[in-house]
């Protein structure tokens, strides 16, 4: 599955990741005021390099990422998924 820069940005907004721009776009997910996940993407347009690493850093498998992009996975669902995996 390919991940485009625009889709990455939509996911970061949907799941409430905070972002910071520098050489790359850094994003982190906070739960109860504590950062628990980090990822980043380059500033290129189109298909992103290291798509598997981004997916793994978000703690999603390919099916879950597809559900997130198709608006089937909500923020509450993402949080419960992270709880099941004992991330939070």
pLDDT for the residue 73: 95
Tell me the residue range of the domain where 10 lies.
Answer: 5-84
- If residue 6 lies in a helix (H) or strand (E), which one and from where to where? helix 5-14
Q: Which residue has the higher pLDDT, 47 or 17?
A: 17
Is the predicted pLDDT of residue 23 greater than 80, yes or no? yes
Is the predicted pLDDT of residue 1 greater than 80, yes or no? no
- What is the mean pLDDT of the segment spanning 41-61? 91
CA contacts within 13 A on the Cβ side of 58: 27
DSSP 48: P
Number of domains in the chain: 1
With beta carbons less than 8 A apart as the criterion, state whether 30 and 15 touch. Answer: no
């Amino acid at each position: 599955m390919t991940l485009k820069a625009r889709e990455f940005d939509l996911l970061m907004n949907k799941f409430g990741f905070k972002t910071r721009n520098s050489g790359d776009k850094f994003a982190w997910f906070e739960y109860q005021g504590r950062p628990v996940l980090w990822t980043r993407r380059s500033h290129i347009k189109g298909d992103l390099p290291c798509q598997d690493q981004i997916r793994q850093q978000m703690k999603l498998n390919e099916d879950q990422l597809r559900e997130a992009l198709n608006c089937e996975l909500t923020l509450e669902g993402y949080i419960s998924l992270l709880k099941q995996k004992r991330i939070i």
